[in-house]
Structure 1
């Protein structure tokens, strides 16, 4: 068994941030475990046509790794290049074990360490375990009747098959969320016909994208200029929490902007009706796009609403619930991820045989969205209630690192082996989270979204300002923990 001080599961931004922070703290005895055969996470895996970030690039980047972005909302190829730059600059390639798909994890009380069992690379041991697999890593395809009967091509947007030529083909996109909103305008001009299956419409606002000129990119190479731009974007976006949580008047104003955007871009009254949500803006993820609505208005694009939803599949295509049969060559499943109940996909067994699935039986929960009672030295990056709907997820990830590194340093300084949050501290934190959540549009906006677990609790989001979360993670509260 290969043994390290720290094991990191996942090599996306969460894993990279953890690894770099360990190096900065002088901790070099660690290993990243990546289930795929390449390093990099989301922006190396998601290569579907039109893929791009929906947070301004200067903010959607690691604070210690600036980049001369070519546009405000970077597209996947540039995000891939940025990811590889970070990996190479901090020399992380030699610290990753590829094709190390984790099967199960258990705490060895005698050895006071975690044992991580992988499918092909054997068992690894570590004093500390950081799960950075991410909430958007387990694609979901609904179990429609006849799913396996379809004889054409099909794949999830997370695993786009670039060998397949979709041009001049009959294509269906199932789903209408963030990924679909980027795929639809890209595919529509090139396919024979595009069928879009929408369960519920999303609110859409214009995407204020822009390219950076040569001089602006030159300026981005200077850290003071880069930090100033990040600061300006951060505070502009941070104010959105006021609408999401504190002001329904502000939400109504934003919703009016979205309705005007819809009216400007969709002249057909019936199509507008199909595209108008019946819930408060912000309850589901708001889509930023200036190209989605024009694509849906094309003569070779058909929108199928809930009443024309998928009934079943057969060899030739899709049978809708209202009796239509649609012949297809390709089905793209833009149906999202198991982002709440399935945030950790493998079995985890902690102290006293406690299983994570049992602890999360009611709904996923964690102290600071990061640590759990009876699971010593285990930290979850982007765990329950650490999602952020108004700014960059990387800000939250970097905040989590403050807490994680503080835990590790504290044990080292005191010559101890393990740390775990007290049950009463985790319970108090979780109760506070869901008490505050009642005030947010995510809980009371009249929709069901992937932000919610099967229990109905909003699990994906943090109910407040991101700087408030940062304050919570600045210093370890030793009274909230058991050190031994």
Structure 2
């Protein structure tokens, strides 16, 4: 059977896939192919086009370090992020190195050939010595299976797949979920819909969004690399200080951040009943903190109703939603803003390693990996934004680029060894994972009194790295041959 053979196959064309491709090209490795399951490239910021979509990390830092950009505002909106993403792709000729509409069905390690065999739905079979999974943790949407969900006769979709052909103006709309995406959608549509019902499982802490437009002079300054780099690092170190609160000082969280959040809530929500519904009962930072100066005013509108866990969804019928209080809500549109399978479903397709062992079996209790990137028994496989590489206080791209230091080092060491495969040892992975979860016990994500998407079904916090991002970069930049097996 004909197979398309490459030295490296990258699965996913978002920022993870782009960073991998750029680093490979930088190393003189051009024998690679990017596989993208959608009919377009770009990942999150080309897929998530719901109203109000924007980044919650300052744009000069939320960008590839080697690809500066003259941003129009501090927190870029979706359309500008998409332009930036496409600019990177086109500048480096990545379209010609990508197969779109190529959904990976399964990847399997061929021990005899020391190659990964990648099966796809419609594009045939690929093989590669090195496999880099960059499909991302926020790529598999989750929609709760409420009783009667499929009987609804109106329109429904997930924020990840917003239907821009549907006109929601003047319609009766429900948004299920109250996290980061919902917090952006609600203010964007509240003044245009007839009525809006927001179903909140639990409230989030909200801080003001310190956004602003850059002047033409400031944008010109952003075009100067030394100044751009200075701004990036200024933002980076300011954000890095948050880890002190997340891990080392709950007093700092309570006195500084939580006090600001409560003041913000009181100033923007005059109704004491609504304000009580919107007041979390857990330590700030335990769940993702929302940055918004428009969410609370939108929830306070007369055409918006907030349903908390005492008045949640009991069932769905052809007309709409029946609440836990027995109220029938007739609706035209249900928007699922219910997040992603970002912990137990880190990789959405089957991965079969040495001895026919499925990765799902190895990760049955909870996903785990050395540096969040390499797994024993799965040679030459590198997972971008894998277990415990999420970061709650700064740019995810900083961590992705840190992972690339390790991945490129591993490939270079493999080439110099004259061997065909590199694999992290079970002892090294186990020691690393035990260290991660020991450190996690001290963090607000584990001890803050909430249940969040950061946690796997086992209760382990799998999404987050329990420390400073520069600590992760240091760990990823010091390749340790003794932790690896070459064959």
TM range (shorter): over 0.9
List gaps (5 residues or longer) in structure 2: none
Q: 1:378-425 CA deviation, whole Å, 9 max, x = no partner?
A: 000000000000000000000000000001011111211100000000
Aligned to 1:100: 102
Following TM superposition, the consecutive aligned residue runs of length 4 or more in structure 1 with deviations greater than 4 angstroms are none
Q: Does 1:66 align with 2:71?
A: no
**Counterpart-to-counterpart distance in 2, 1:65 and 1:257:** 34
Aligned to 1:85: 87
**Counterpart-to-counterpart distance in 2, 1:341 and 1:135:** 10
Aligned to 1:30: 32
Tell me how far 1:130 sits from its aligned partner.
0.2
Aligned to 1:419: 422
Matched positions, count: 484
Match of 2:370 among 363, 367, 372: 367
Aligned to 1:115: 117
**Counterpart-to-counterpart distance in 2, 1:143 and 1:74:** 34
**Structure 1 counterpart SS, 2:174:** strand
Match of 1:125 among 124, 127, 143: 127
Pairing 1:457-472 to 2, within 5 Å after superposition: 457-472=460-475
Aligned to 1:382: 385
Aligned to 2:142: 140
Pairing 1:180-329 to 2, within 5 Å after superposition: 180-253=182-255, 254-329=257-332
**Counterpart-to-counterpart distance in 2, 1:187 and 1:39:** 27
Aligned to 2:449: 446
Q: 1:84-133 CA deviation, whole Å, 9 max, x = no partner?
A: 00001111000001011011110001111000000000110000000000
Q: Does 1:354 align with 2:357?
A: yes
Tell me how far 1:475 sits from its aligned partner.
2.5
**Structure 1 counterpart SS, 2:467:** coil
**Counterpart-to-counterpart distance in 1, 2:145 and 2:335:** 14
Q: 1:222-267 CA deviation, whole Å, 9 max, x = no partner?
A: 1000000001000000000000000011010211110000000000
Match of 1:334 among 306, 325, 337: 337
Q: 1:334-391 CA deviation, whole Å, 9 max, x = no partner?
A: 0000000001011111011111001001100000000000000000000000000000
List gaps (5 residues or longer) in structure 1: none
Q: Does 1:403 align with 2:406?
A: yes
Match of 2:158 among 153, 156, 159: 156
Q: Does 1:173 align with 2:207?
A: no
**Counterpart-to-counterpart distance in 1, 2:354 and 2:410:** 18
**Structure 2 counterpart SS, 1:148:** helix
Q: 1:61-93 CA deviation, whole Å, 9 max, x = no partner?
A: 000000000000000000000000000111100
**Counterpart-to-counterpart distance in 2, 1:414 and 1:166:** 60
TM-score between the two structures when normalised by the length of structure 2? 0.99
Q: Please provide the CA RMSD for this pair.
A: 0.4
**Counterpart-to-counterpart distance in 2, 1:135 and 1:428:** 24
**Structure 2 counterpart SS, 1:53:** coil
**Structure 1 counterpart SS, 2:87:** helix
TM-score between the two structures when normalised by the length of structure 1? 1.00
**Counterpart-to-counterpart distance in 1, 2:299 and 2:150:** 28
Tell me how far 1:476 sits from its aligned partner.
1.2
**Structure 2 counterpart SS, 1:107:** strand
